Amino acid sequence: MPSGITDGADGNLWFADTATSMIGRITTSGTITEYSLPKESGTGGITEGPDGNLWFTEVTANKIGKIVP
């Protein structure tokens, strides 16, 4: 269940997979890669920040995560 799809400074699309607590990336060629987070994270959304990094919520863990693309 992708949620909060956003474009990254790297030219790819990024999303939070709320069903699996993963962060995913879709390249311009259509390749999908998912990155695991602890199951208790409960990913909620993702967005690109003004610093070019990707910021996402870990709803269940009450944390905010960062990806440097």
Please give the model's pTM, rounded to 2 decimal places: 0.84
pLDDT of residue 50: 94
**CA-CA distance, 14 to 65, in Å (whole number)?**
13
Domains, in order of start, for the chain: 2-67 (2.40.10.500)
How does pLDDT run across 16-38, given as a tens digit for each residue? Answer: 988 888 899 999 999 999 998 88
Strands of 43-48's sheet, edge to edge? 43-48, 54-58, 63-67
- Supply the pLDDT for residue 20: 84
Q: What is the pLDDT of residue 19?
A: 82
Please, what is the average pLDDT of the chain? 89
Indicate whether 14 pLDDT > 90: yes
